[in-house]
């Protein structure tokens, strides 16, 4: 039986830390669906279409990875796809409380779905999408935090920054 997991997130933008989870997740699962959440409540910098394009560019050539968006409850999305595993990354201890609450809520809503947590590689523990957006906005370089397609997407959308 094929082992499939969904790695959900806003991915605004996708970071090297996210890619680390994807790479390592592929060692455990046969297929990984990167599910880009529309999540307009978070006021994303990039549209959902841009975020899907960005993620696809970053995982291009990686066998076993699929990218699509969703705009409903995560457990409903998984049920619709017939997938029973959620993969979530943890960077620092403060992530755990939020992720633990979400996992317990998802378990209450859909007991057949399990959440698997994976620690981000230590070299990415401090990387956070909101911090990357702030660095770019203030003229800093982001190429050490995100893959080249993300840098190009920022430059295409907002122009080049000093730095």
Task: For the sheet with 114-119, list strands across it.
Answer: 65-70, 31-37, 4-9, 85-90, 114-119
Question: From the candidates 51, 81, 91, 162, which is the catalytic residue?
Answer: 91
Query: Does residue 157 fall inside a structural domain?
Result: no
Q: Has 98 been annotated as catalytic?
A: no
Q: Has 156 been annotated as catalytic?
A: no
State how many domains the chain has: 1
Question: What are residue 33's DSSP bridge partners?
Answer: 6, 66
Q: Has 160 been annotated as catalytic?
A: no
Query: Does residue 150 fall inside a structural domain?
Result: no
Q: Has 42 been annotated as catalytic?
A: yes
17 and 91 Cβ atoms separated by less than 8 Å: yes
Query: Does residue 57 fall inside a structural domain?
Result: yes
CA dihedral 145, 147, 148, 150 (to 10 degrees): -80
pTM: 0.92
Query: Does residue 51 fall inside a structural domain?
Result: yes
Return the half-sphere exposure (C-beta side, CA atoms, 13 A cut-off) of residue 31.
12
- pLDDT tens digit sequence for 13-63: 999 999 999 999 999 999 999 999 998 777 899 999 999 999 999 999 999
Domain encompassing residue 120: 4-126
- pLDDT tens digit sequence for 78-87: 999 999 999 9
């Amino acid at each position: 039986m094929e082992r499939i997991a969904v790695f959900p997130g806003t991915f605004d933008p996708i970071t090297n830390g996210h890619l680390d989870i994807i790479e390592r997740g592929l060692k455990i699962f046969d297929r990984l669906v990167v599910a880009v959440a529309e999540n307009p409540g978070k006021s994303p910098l990039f549209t959902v279409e841009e975020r899907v394009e960005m993620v696809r560019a970053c995982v291009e050539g990686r066998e076993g990875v699929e990218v699509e968006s969703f705009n409903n409850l995560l457990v409903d999305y998984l049920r619709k796809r017939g997938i029973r595993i959620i993969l979530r990354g943890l960077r620092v201890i403060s992530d755990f409380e939020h992720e633990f609450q979400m996992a317990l809520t998802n378990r209450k809503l859909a007991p057949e779905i399990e959440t698997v947590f994976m620690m981000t590689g230590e070299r990415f523990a401090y990387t956070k999408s909101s911090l990357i957006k702030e660095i770019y906005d203030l003229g800093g370089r982001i190429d050490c935090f995100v893959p080249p397609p993300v840098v190009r997407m920022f430059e295409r959308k907002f122009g080049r920054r000093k730095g």
